[in-house]
């Protein structure tokens, strides 16, 4: 039987006190007020890192001030329900959930019932079940494209999200899937996850190459921007996609305004689709069903595991794309070593 701390006890959390610096802190344990909206209190078991977390760690989000709220910036979380004011969740349930405020680097977090689902016993002890959350976002994005069977696709950016796109496009019947990424190891991984071929280069280099001999570049029906955090690759997608093709903007922006090469977009009669924040319960449930069926292969995305007190090392590794990193999981159970 699991015995939880009393609500009066403080909890441990990690806090980004300044760019690239984590400190372990103690903060009040959140509690649920039955008089307000339905909420779930979760004891964190594992979290996984997303590329969209890194700019908060590095200080690239100019509108953010430091220190960040304790527990930020993590949103891919698996844990066990401690308390609930929702009839759909009960103490002891294992859930995958998106914490309020993306504050998952803590012993406990609060989430909304609409942003969580229960995990069945068969995978409740698997740390790789954190992958269900990013998979749900890719599912939503590909659904926005409609039927992709028989279409050609280019995926720019072969991190874990780009690999999930390659994998899902293959499952959905795309005829040719081209992966583009300057890191050779990622290209090699993409070919294991469904890419028909890969180009180990920056997308801008591919753009230049495509212009050298007119008619040689096989422009894809769909081009996926899975890099984010800068402006150039979206325009590379517009350049590389075929006329009347579709560009899927998935990578998270860090700036409110992007300079789009509008004439290229206009002359190609292209379609630009953004995909972010699905209806969580629907898509977490869909992703859970797929994860159960394809667990062995999808777990191959997890390349590194660290204890929670090594979070700074893990974030630095992820930032630098070092050691063949694809997906990192942090075990939140052990808070014994001080990270500060």
pLDDT digits (tens, 9 = 90+) for 290-324: 999 999 999 999 999 999 999 999 999 999 999 99
Rounded Cα–Cα distance for residues 145 and 317 (Å): 33
Q: Per residue in 249-285, pLDDT tens?
A: 999 998 889 999 999 999 999 999 999 989 999 999 9
Whether the model pTM is above 0.85? yes
27, burial (CB in 10 Å: exposed 0-12, middle 13-18, buried 19+): middle
Contacts of residues 169-172 at CB distance under 8 Å and 24 or more positions apart, as own/partner, are 169/142, 169/194, 170/194, 172/142, 172/148
Give the C-alpha separation, 137 to 160, whole Å: 12
Q: How confident is the model at residue 108 (pLDDT cuts 50, 70, 90)?
A: very high
Q: Look up tokens 């920056």; give the residue.
A: 202
Predicted pLDDT of residue 337: 66
Average pLDDT over residues 330-336: 87
Adjacent-strand bridge partners of 154: 178, 223
Count of positions (residues) in the chain: 340
The 10s digit of each residue's pLDDT in 201-255 is 999 999 999 998 878 899 999 999 999 999 999 999 999 999 999 999 999 998 8
What are the chain's domains? 10-125+301-331 (3.90.180.10), 134-274 (3.40.50.720)
Q: Check whether the bond before 96 is cis (ω within 30° of 0).
A: no
pLDDT band at 9 (very low <50, low <70, confident <90, very high): confident
The string of pLDDT tens digits covering residues 85-105 is: 999 999 999 999 999 999 999
Read off the pLDDT band of 336 (50, 70, 90): low
What sections of 221-294 are H helices per DSSP?
232-240, 262-267, 280-293
Q: Each residue of 64-84: pLDDT tens digit?
A: 899 999 999 999 999 999 999
Among 256, 49, 251, residue whose Cα is nearest residue 138: 251
Burial class, 36, CB count within 10 angstroms (exposed 0-12 / middle 13-18 / buried 19+): exposed
Contacts of 87 (CB under 8 A, 6+ apart): none
Residue 157 clears pLDDT 70, i.e. is over it: yes
């Amino acid at each position: 039987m699991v015995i939880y701390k009393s609500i009066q006890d403080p909890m441990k959390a990690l806090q980004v006190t300044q760019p690239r610096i984590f400190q372990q802190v103690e903060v009040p344990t959140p509690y649920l007020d039955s008089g307000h909206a339905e909420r779930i209190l979760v004891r964190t078991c594992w979290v996984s890192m997303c590329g969209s977390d890194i700019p908060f760690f590095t200080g690239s989000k100019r509108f953010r001030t430091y220190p960040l709220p304790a527990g930020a910036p993590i949103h891919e979380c698996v844990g066990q329900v401690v308390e609930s004011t929702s009839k759909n969740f009960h103490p002891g349930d294992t859930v995958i959930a998106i914490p309020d405020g993306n504050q998952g680097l803590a012993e406990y977090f609060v989430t909304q019932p609409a942003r969580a689902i229960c995990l069945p016993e068969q995978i409740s002890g698997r740390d790789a079940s954190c992958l269900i959350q990013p998979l749900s976002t890719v599912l939503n994005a590909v659904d926005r494209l409609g039927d992709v069977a028989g279409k050609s696709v280019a995926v720019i950016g072969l991190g874990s999200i780009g690999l999930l796109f390659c994998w899902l496009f293959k499952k959905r019947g795309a005829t040719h899937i081209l992966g583009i990424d300057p890191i050779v190891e990622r290209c090699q991984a993409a070919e294991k996850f469904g890419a028909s071929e890969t180009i180990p280069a920056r997308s801008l280099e591919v753009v230049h190459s495509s212009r050298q001999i007119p008619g040689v570049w096989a422009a894809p029906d769909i081009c996926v921007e899975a890099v984010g955090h800068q402006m150039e690759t979206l325009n590379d997608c517009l350049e590389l996609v075929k006329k009347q093709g579709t560009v899927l903007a998935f990578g998270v922006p860090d700036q409110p305004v992007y300079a789009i090469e509008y004439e290229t977009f206009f002359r190609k009669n292209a379609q630009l689709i953004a995909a972010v924040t699905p209806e969580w319960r629907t898509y977490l449930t869909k992703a859970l069903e797929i994860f159960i069926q394809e667990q062995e292969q999808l777990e191959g995305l997890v390349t590194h595991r660290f204890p929670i007190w090594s979070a700074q090392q893990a974030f630095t590794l992820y930032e630098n794309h070092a050691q063949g990193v694809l997906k990192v999981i942090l075990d939140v159970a052990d808070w014994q070593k001080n990270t500060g």
